[in-house]
Amino acid sequence: MSKRIGSVPFLNSVPLTCGIEEDTEFVVPSKLADMLRGGGLDAALLSVTEVLFHDGYEVLDGVAVASRGAVKSVFLAHRQPLEELDVIHCDTASLTSVNLLRVLLAERGLQPKLEPLSRYNQAGLLQNVLLIGNAGIDFLRADHDHAIWDLGEAWQKMTELPFVYAVWALRSGQHDAALRAKLHQAKNDGLARLEQTINEHPEYDPAFRRAYLGEHIHYDLGNDEKAGLARFVELLKIHSNQPVHSPVFI
């Protein structure tokens, strides 16, 4: 039987797939979007801009990957001062991070050239690089001489709102109450056993996992997160050159 749920192979998504790992395919966000749009999945934990830039999705209410400040895994590592940036090489795994960076810079009147990052092992050699997820965490924990601009912190300072990085996206008309309940239960189970995940998960060390999963990342999609999403939609409409759709929650 083929797997009909898709998620990302990042530490921050672990609590959202608790107990449904065997039903879930783990691939990078950009591939997840293709699989969901193509009908290969019924639900996927997608970068939020995939939902905002394309219709045909509904968003599972109450669940997200979000931050209320520094997120520690979405950041610009830069050697040039922000006001003097000319080129930024961007991790292509998530369009949300690239668009968040574009919005944050544009609101400061800055429009550096954004180019794709070809290989992670080149990141330390580049002047300015946007990194996300486990690759970003690895960069932070290694020796480097870059200044770090945490995009979650920058967003919170600019808007005083949380930022939502990923949501459970469902194909409109192609899901049912059982699937939605399954995803809600996975989150509930994941948060109930968060302490066990922090203590036992093999990635990184317990102190980092505690700070990251217990403080920097949160998994709610409530009124504050929806207000943050609405603000992001407003700014994307100003600074993006493509149509932007307001999310439909279910």
Q: How confident is the model at residue 2 (pLDDT cuts 50, 70, 90)?
A: low
Digit-coded pLDDT (tens) for 22-58: 999 999 877 898 999 888 999 999 999 999 999 889 9
What does the DSSP assignment read for the chain? ----EEE-SSGGGGGGGTT-GGGEEE--HHHHHHHHHTTS-SEEEEEHHHHHH-SSEEEEEEEEEEESS--SSEEEEESS-GGG--EEEE-TT-HHHHHHHHHHHHTTT---EEEE---GGGGGGSSEEEEEHHHHHHHHHS----EEEEHHHHHHHHHSS-EEEEEEEEETTS--HHHHHHHHHHHHHHHHTHHHHHHH-SSS-HHHHHHIIIII-EEEESHHHHHHHHHHHHHHHHH-SS------B-
pLDDT given for residue 197 in this prediction: 94
Domains in the chain, start-ordered, CATH in brackets? 5-67+162-239 (3.40.190.10), 74-159 (3.40.190.10)
Q: How confident is the model at residue 216 (pLDDT cuts 50, 70, 90)?
A: very high
